Each structure stands twice: as structure tokens, then as C-alpha cells.
Amino acid sequence: MKHYIPVLSIAGSDCSGGAGIQADLKTISALGSYAATAITAVTVQNTCGVRAIHPVPADIIKGQIQAVMEDIRPLAVKIGMVNDIEAIHAIAEALTTYHPQYVVFDPVMVSTSGHRLIEEEAIELLKTTLIPLATVITPNLKEAEVLYGKPISTLTDMEKAAYELLCLGCQSVLIKGGHLEGNEMTDILLTGKDASPLHYPGTKVDSHNTHGTGCTLSSAIATFLAQGYALPEAVKKAKDYVYNGILHGKDIQIGDGHGPLNHFFSPISMKIKE
């Protein structure tokens, strides 16, 4: 019997199709795995911004995770937008029960358009419940600043923040440097307190179509981990995928604001286990 390698995304729904659950479905599928989902919230948004957020009840979130875990049994889980305390507890309880091999947590807090996506009191709970369950957390600079409590504007700042965030209990920290000044950007991966930070330099693509890049990167990392790649290689392959998605989507017009990257610039066959 042959089986596709499954990956579960726990995240919010983006009705415009560029971020959240929709971006994760596209990413996991494009990279050759089977995508399952647990929706945490329904958002009203488009390429111009977020208009409203409707949270899914915590028992329904937990039920979705249970249903997938008991049947499809994904090796990797990606967690995206979680915007209230009850949802955080529900996800943490489910993951503690089923112990997926890999957990990639993208602590989504602010949308690209600047809309706050999480309740203030939920941030501290993230630090004590979900982050300690993570194989790797993937904050951008703004999200890392919220968790770190200090401004981050240089690579040295990013390295210091990574060590501090590692103390929250996660196995690894990937801080994304896409918001650094200039045309060059560097992501930093720290895999342990005694490890040296790994740098992933890159060149920014001049494009307005960057909606959903953080969601895409984290779900790509989860997918590559599920497929058997070690974390540093999974991060590299995920970054290459995102870069090419932006590059091949920069001249495509979707909406009037920040359009999505091109998830299917080079689709591949599904990964199958015997």
C-alpha cells in the first residue's frame, strides 16, 4: 500500500487565497505532500488588508486536530494564526496528546497591512504553551520584537534575540530578516544553545506580490521535515521555494494590493511512501 506523506496546517482562513490555510494548502501540495487542515479563524480580507476576524470555537479547533491525527496521522504540523487564549489551550492539549514528530510554529501577530491579529493577553500564553512544543519557531522581525521585548535592526540583534527566544523552550529558532534595511536580507537559524547561528543570506525580489510569504515558508519547512530533511536543509529548500515563488509571481496581477507569490511556478509529483 502506498501513502502520501501528510502534513497538517493549523491556521486561519484567507478568503482571498493568498495567505493562511490557503497558502499552506498550495505549498504543501506543490511540494509533493498531502495537506490536511484545522481552521482556527475565518478572516475577511483581500490583497489590500484584513477587515474582520471570526474565531472558530476552541472545541471545534481541537476536534479538527483530533480527527486528522487519529486517521491521517501527519508527521509534521505547521501552526499559523492563533488569536485567542481558548484556541491556544485547545491546540496545545491536542499536540501534547498526539505528539507529532515535527511542529513548525509561525507566530503570526500582525498582518502585512499592519492589522493586529492576536489578543494581547494571548502573547504570554504562546510563550508558555505553544512555543515549548515547537521544533522550530519562525518569527519575522516584528514578531520577534514582540516576543523578545526589544528592537531588532541588525544581524547582531537577531542573533541575540534568537538565543533569548530559544530559552522559551523551543528546539530551534528561525528569525526572518526580510524587513531589514537594504536589498540584502539574511535569515538566522539557531538550533541549540551551544550551536552557532546559521545564516541564510539572500537578495530581495522587487515585487508587490509578497502576501503569504511567512505562511508559505513555515508550511514549506514543515513539509520538508516530514519528507525526511534535517532542519537546516529543510530551511534552505523552503527559502529557495519562497524565493522562486516571489520571483515567478512578481509580474502577475492579483487584486489591487499585495498579491500572493506564485506557489505553482514548478509543481512536482506527490511524495509517496511504500
Report d(CA 30, CA 110) in Å as an integer.
26
Active-site annotation holder among 17, 80, 177, 212 = 212
Query: What does the DSSP assignment read for 97-136?
Result: HH--SEEEE----B-TTS-B-S-HHHHHHHHHTTGGG-SE
Active-site annotation holder among 213, 236, 245, 249 = 213
Active-site annotation holder among 43, 210, 216, 223 = 210
In the chain, what is the straight-line distance between the N-terminal and C-terminal CA atoms, in Å?
A: 6
The CA distances from residue 167 to 91, 126, 193, in Å, are: 21, 13, 8
Active-site annotation holder among 177, 214, 245, 259 = 214
> What is the three-state SS of 52-101?
EEEECCHHHHHHHHHHHHHHCCCCEEEECCCCCHHHHHHHHHHHHHHCCC
Q: Is 273 a catalytic residue?
A: no
Q: Which is it for the CA torsion 231, 237, 241, 246, positive or negative?
A: positive
Q: Is 48 a catalytic residue?
A: no
Active-site annotation holder among 78, 176, 236, 239 = 176
Q: Which three cell numbers stand for residue 96?
A: 501534547
Q: Is 214 a catalytic residue?
A: yes
Q: Is 167 a catalytic residue?
A: no
Report d(CA 150, CA 160) in Å as an integer.
10
In contact, 156 and 124? CB cutoff 8 Å = no
Q: Is 15 a catalytic residue?
A: no
Q: Is 215 a catalytic residue?
A: yes
> What is the three-state SS of 36-58?
EEEEEEEEEEECCEEEEEEECCH
The distance between the two most distant Cα atoms of the chain, rounded to a whole number of Å, is 52
Report d(CA 100, CA 13) in Å as an integer.
22
Using DSSP, state whether 171 is helix, strand or coil: coil
Active-site annotation holder among 20, 26, 177, 215 = 215
Catalytic residues: 176, 210, 212-215
